[in-house]
Chains A and B, each alone.
Chain A
Amino acid sequence: MNAPNKSGWKPAMTEGGTADGPATVTGNRALMLEEPLIFEIGTTGTTGVDLPEPQESATRLGSFVRKDEIGLPGLSEPETVRHYTRLSRQNYAIDLGLFPLGSCTMKHNPRLNEKVARMPGFLDVHPLQPVDTVRGALEVVNELAHWLIELTGMHGVAMTPKAGAHGELCGILCIRAALEARGDAREVILVPESAHGTNPATAAFAGYRVEDIPATKEGRVDLEALKARLGPDVAAVMITNPNTCGLFERDMKAISDAVHAAGAFVYCDGANFNAIVGKVRPGDLGVDAMHINLHKTFSTPHGGGGPGSGPVVLSEALAPFGPLPFTARMADGTVQLVEEENAAEHDHARAFGRMSAFHGQMGMFTRALTYILSHGADGLKQVAEDAVLNANYILRSLEDVLDAPFGPSGPCMHEALFSDKGFADGFSTLDLAKALIDEGYHPMTMYFPLVVHGAMLVEPTETESKAGIDQFVAALRSVAERARAGDESLKTAPHFAPRRRLDETLAARKPVLAFDGPCTPGGTPQLSEQGGS
Chain B
Amino acid sequence: MRYLPLTDADRSAMLATIGAASVDDLFVDVPAGARLSGPVAGLPLHQSEMAVERHMRALSKKNLAAADAAFFCGAGAYRHHVPATVDHIIQRGEFLTAYTPYQPEIAQGTLQMLFEFQSQVARLYGCAVANASMYDGSTACWEAIAMAGRVTRRSRAVLSGGLHPHYVETARTMAKFTGDCIADALPTLDGTPDTAALVARIDDETACVVVQYPDILGRLPDLAAIAEAAHARGALLIAVNTEPVALGACQSPGELGADIVVGEGQALGVGLQFGGPYLGLFAVRDVRHVRQMPGRLCGETVDADGKRGFVLTLSTREQHIRREKATSNICTNSGLCALAFSIHLTLLGEKGLRALAAENHRLACLAADRLAKVPGVRVLNDAFFNEFTVLLGQDARAVVRKLADRKVLAGVSLGRLYPAHEALHEGLVVAFTETTSEEDIETLASALQEVLA
Contacts and interface: CB of A to CB of B under 8 A. Distances in A.
A377 B330 contact: no
Nearest to B82: A123
A126 B93 contact: no
Given A198-B319, A353-B172, A507-B311, 12 more contacts: A47-B349, A68-B255, A121-B62, A122-B60, A130-B401, A140-B59, A147-B43, A358-B274, A359-B276, A502-B105, A502-B302, A502-B310
Contacts of A67: 251
Interface in A63-121: 64-75, 77, 80-81, 83-85, 87-96, 99, 101, 104, 106, 108-110, 112, 114-116, 118-121
Chain B interface: which size bin?
35 or more
A112 B53 contact: yes
B314 interface: yes
Interface in B45-64: 45-47, 49, 52-53, 55-64
A96 B138 contact: no
A315 interface: no
A323 interface: yes
Given A124-B66, A507-B301, A357 B167 contact: yes
B105 A128 contact: no
B1 interface: yes
Given A51-B359, A112-B52, A373-B47, A305 B335 contact: yes
Contact of A284 (B23, B34, B334, B383): B34
B290 A356 contact: no
Pairs of residues from A and B, 9 with the lowest C-beta to C-beta distance, nearest first: A74-B349, A353-B173, A358-B275, A95-B93, A136-B62, A303-B336, A121-B60, A127-B275, A307-B277
Interface in B339-362: 339, 343, 345-359, 361-362
Given A128-B73, A503-B302, A250 B351 contact: no
Contact of A84 (B56, B64, B343): B343
Given A65-B249, A248-B30, A48 B346 contact: yes
A347 interface: no
A437 B108 CA distance: 14
Contacts of B384: 60-61
B89 A88 contact: yes
A200 interface: yes
Contacts of A508: 299, 313-314, 316
Contacts of A16: none
Interface in B93-114: 93-101, 103-110, 112-113
B122 interface: yes
15 contacts: A8-B307, A58-B365, A59-B361, A64-B383, A70-B123, A92-B106, A130-B400, A143-B59, A197-B321, A197-B331, A355-B170, A389-B6, A448-B320, A502-B303, A513-B118
Given A49-B352, A198-B331, A201-B323, A136 B314 contact: no
Contact of A47 (B46, B99, B104, B348): B348
A217 interface: no
Interface in A127-144: 127-130, 132-137, 139-140, 143
Given A89-B109, A375-B1, A379-B1, A306 B416 contact: no
Contacts of B28: 410-411
B300 A507 contact: yes
Nearest to A501: B304
B311 A72 contact: no
* Most-contacted residue by chain A among B76, B88, B250, B274 (CB, 10 A): B274
Contact of A72 (B164, B305, B353): B353
A280 interface: yes
Interface in B355-388: 355-359, 361-362, 364-365, 368, 381-385
A453 interface: no
Contacts of A53: 355
Interface stretch (A259-267, A419-427, A476-484, A492-500): A492-500
